[in-house]
Amino acid sequence: MRTRERAALAVAGLAVAAAGGTVFAGTSGAIGPSPAPSVQAAETSCVTDSAGMCTVQHALGAVPAVVVVSANTPGQFNAYMLNTVQGSYTATTFQVRAMFNQTTPKAGGAIWFSYAAYGGAPVTTPTTPTPPTTQTPPKSSTTPTKTTLPTTTPVPTTTTEAPTSPPGGGSGLGS
C-alpha cells in the first residue's frame, strides 16, 4: 500500500473516530517502513487571506512527506474545498487553501479542518564543507651533492719572436 493510500485510510479512520464510531484494526502484523514514520494528526482552524490561504503550524519535527486535509464545515451553507499548497511544507508549517469553487477563494473567512502530517526526512543543519587538504611531499633529509667540474686554467699564449740577425747581414757564425 502506498503512502497516500495509507494516509487516506488514516484520515478516514480519524473521521470515523471523531464521529463517535468504532475503528477496527486488523490482526495482521504491521506493514510499512521501519522505523515507523512519525505522524501528527489534529483538528484546527484558521482565518484565510484574500487568496483563501492560511498557514498551519505543526510539531512533526521534519518536513512532511505528505499532508492530508479534510474540511469540517459547521453549517449547511458554508461548504468549501480544501487542499494543501504545493511547495509550502516546512519543518514547522504548511499552507492550506480553501475554495468555494474552482475560481472563487474563501477569502477572509474562518475554516475548520482535520489534518494528518506524515514525517519525511528529519531537518538537519547544513554544514559548510571543509576544503580538501593537499599534502605536500615530505622534504628529503639528504641534501643534493654538488658536482664540481674541473676548471681549466687557460694557457697563456706567448709569442716568440724569431731571433734577429746581427746587423750587417752576417750569418752570425764565427766570422
Beta carbons of 117 and 95 less than 8 angstroms apart: no
pLDDT digits (tens, 9 = 90+) for 94-114: 999 999 999 999 999 999 999
pLDDT (average), residues 115-122: 82
Percent of the chain with pLDDT over 90: 39
Tell me whether residue 111 is in a domain. Answer: yes
Has residue 150 got a pLDDT over 70?
no
Tell me whether residue 147 is in a domain. Answer: no
pLDDT digits (tens, 9 = 90+) for 47-98: 999 999 999 999 998 999 999 999 987 777 678 899 999 999 999 999 999 9
**Cell for 131?**
576544503
**Which of 103-107, 135-139, 163-167 shows the lowest per-residue confidence on average (mean pLDDT)?**
163-167
Has residue 9 got a pLDDT over 50?
yes
Has residue 160 got a pLDDT over 80?
no
Query: Which of 45, 36, 17, 29 has its CA nearest to residue 111?
Result: 45
CA dist., res. 19 & res. 40, Å (int): 19
Tell me whether residue 133 is in a domain. Answer: no
CA–CA distance from 110 to each of 15, 54, 78, 80 (Å)?
Answer: 20, 10, 10, 11
CA–CA distance from 53 to each of 14, 86, 91, 146 (Å)?
Answer: 24, 12, 19, 83
CA 111 to chain centre: 35
**CATH classification at residue 52:** 2.60.40.3940
CA 71 to chain centre: 34
Average pLDDT of every residue of the chain: 72
Domain of residue 41, residue span:
37-122
Tell me whether residue 81 is in a domain. Answer: yes
| Number of independent structural domains in the chain | 1
What pLDDT was estimated at residue 6? 54
Tell me whether residue 30 is in a domain. Answer: no
CA dist., res. 46 & res. 19, Å (int): 21
Predicted TM-score (pTM) of the model is 0.50
Tell me whether residue 5 is in a domain. Answer: no
Tell me whether residue 16 is in a domain. Answer: no
Beta carbons of 43 and 111 less than 8 angstroms apart: no
Query: Which of 104, 97, 83, 95 has its CA nearest to residue 52?
Result: 97
Percent of the chain with pLDDT over 70: 46
pLDDT band at 23 (very low <50, low <70, confident <90, very high): very low
Tell me whether residue 152 is in a domain. Answer: no
